Amino acid sequence: MCFQETRRILGRHIQWLLCASVAVNMMLLLFVMFHQPEAGFPTLRGHHPINPELMDKRGLPAILVEKVPKSHTVTTDSNTRREKDLKDNKEWEKVQQVPTEKPTWSYNKTAADVFRKELEAICNTKDDFIVTKENFPLGSVIQYDAERHSRLNVTNDVWKRFPESSPFRHMKHSRCSVVGNSGLLKNSNCGKEIDSANFVFRCNMAPIDGDHIAEVGSKTDLITANPTIIRDKYKNLRNHTMKEKFIKDTSVYGKSYIWMTPFAYKMCTSYTFKAQQVLKELKSDNEIIFANPVFMGKINGYWKKKGVKAWRASTGLFLVSAALSMCEEVYLYGFWPWHLDRIGNNLTQHYYDNHPVHKAHKLPDEFKQHQRLHNEGVLHITTNKCP
């Protein structure tokens, strides 16, 4: 009798303990389900049966949780990740060494006039920027500026291709934009500012349509074209289809001058002459003008003495030099020789493609000169996004 009573009492206690255990476990389950786990702690996996014997170190049922592997823990700090990526980047080291321009800029007319006078005394840009009948009369000889051993006799057939005189002789604009093609211009919002100038120089038939208008604008007064583009892109204009394509592609620049270099290398002469002929035949609004090899040689020599240790100056530097003679205030856009911006963002070579630059140029040396002239108030260079 006593044994049965004892067994009955123990049974009640065990039943009570089991109920209490279930209640506690249910509370723990609800806690885990609705409690937001902290970073790095175990996360809820699912609703599994509870085994009171399998508890993790926090007292939670281990079967309900699974550990997040350390390798899966990803930082959300993009700056930290970027710093790690840039740590061993040699180009980033160079960019960090580039001083910033003066935070405020104002045009220094005195300094600009002194510089302009010095440059004009050597280069005579207004008369010699392009080849004319005046600076290369009939019977004279043209020496190629890159292929120095080559010569061209100015016969009547050659001479008649030249304008009588330079259209830039009496040109004096109050404000000019010179547009380089750096990837820095991508999403720069500089289009309106560029187009606000009285005269706009552009390089290498860079695109100005579609999405690029917001980046670089569309106004064009002078654009350069490498003669080899006639060979490579337009198949030497050998058929009507290629001629029409060339006319269509150049028409986007409006009534502008196309500055080409027929007297850099001998092979460039025929390409340039052919392009000029096609524009005239199809009555294009564009006019091809020929870079003067004498002017180009003098520009090369001038900037070498200033510290540009390149075999040949870039097209951009030739245009900047010309603009400083033709314009009162000169504003540069897209002149940035690195593939990273000042905060380490990746940049393409150009705002429209990623083709490598010619090794003959020393663009960092040229940038230093642009920056020096900016700090002196001679010109303005933009290395950030436009407002």
Residue 75 has pLDDT above 60, yes or no: no
Quick one: what percent of the chain has pLDDT higher than 70?
A: 75
Residue 159 inside a domain? The answer is yes
Phi, psi of 25 (to 5 degrees): -65, -35
Q: Is residue 81 part of a domain?
A: no
What count of other Cβ atoms lies within 10 Å of the Cβ of residue 233?
13
Out of 103-107, 165-169, 171-175, pick the least confident: 103-107
Residues 52 and 187 in one domain: no
370 part of a folded domain: yes
Same structural domain, 299 and 206: yes
Lowest mean pLDDT: which of 39-53, 108-122, 325-339, 369-383? 39-53
The rounded distance, in Å, linking the Cα atoms of 293 and 302 is 14
Last residue of a domain, one of 72, 89, 118: 72
Last residue of a domain, one of 72, 93, 121: 72
Check whether residue 49 and residue 158 sit in a common domain. no
CA–CA separation, 25 and 194 (whole Å): 71
Calculate mean pLDDT across residues 263-270: 97
Question: Is 94 inside any structural domain?
Answer: no
Report the predicted TM-score, pTM, of the whole model to 2 decimal places. 0.77
pLDDT number for residue 356: 74
Q: Are residues 124 and 57 in the same domain?
A: no
In the numeric block, which tokens belong to residue 86?
């840039």
Q: Domain range spanning residue 231? A: 101-382
Quick one: 18 and 106 in the same domain? Answer: no
**What is the distance between the alpha carbons of residues 374 and 330, in angstroms, rounded to a whole number?**
10
pLDDT, tens digit (0-9, with 9 covering 90-100), for 309-341: 888 899 999 999 999 999 999 999 999 998 888
Q: Do 220 and 130 belong to one domain?
A: yes
Strands 173-179 and 199-202, sheet pairing:
parallel
**Mean pLDDT across 245-260:** 98
**Would 80 be classed as within a structural domain?**
no
Question: How far is residue 373's CA from residue 366's CA, in Å, rounded to a whole number?
Answer: 11
Instruction: Verify that 253 and 360 share a domain, yes or no.
Output: yes
* 201 and 256 fall within a common domain: yes
Q: Tell me, yes or no, whether 90 lies in a domain.
A: no
Which residues are known to be catalytic? 361
Going 324 to 327 to 328 to 331, the CA torsion angle's sign is negative
Contact 249, 278 (CB under 8 A): no
Residue 308, class by beta-carbon neighbours within 10 Å (0-12 exposed, 13-18 middle, 19+ buried)?
buried
Q: How high is the pLDDT of residue 104?
A: 87
Which pLDDT band, with edges at 50, 70 and 90, does 157 fall under? very high
Q: In what order do the strands lie in the sheet with 327-333?
A: 287-290, 257-260, 222-224, 199-202, 173-179, 327-333, 380-382
Q: Are residues 119 and 23 in the same domain?
A: no
Last residue of a domain, one of 52, 72, 92: 72
Structure confidence at residue 54 (pLDDT): 42
User: Does residue 27 share a domain with residue 150?
Assistant: no
Q: 130 and 228, same structural domain? A: yes
Task: Say yes or no: 138 and 57 in one domain.
Answer: no
Residue pair 176/326 in contact (Cβ under 8 Å)? The answer is yes
Closest to 146 in 3D by CA, of 351, 310, 30: 310
Q: Is 337 inside a domain boundary?
A: yes
Q: Judge whether 85 lies within some domain.
A: no
Band of the pLDDT at 360, cuts 50, 70, 90? low
Give the total number of structural domains in the chain.
2
CATH number of the CATH domain containing 141? 3.90.1480.20
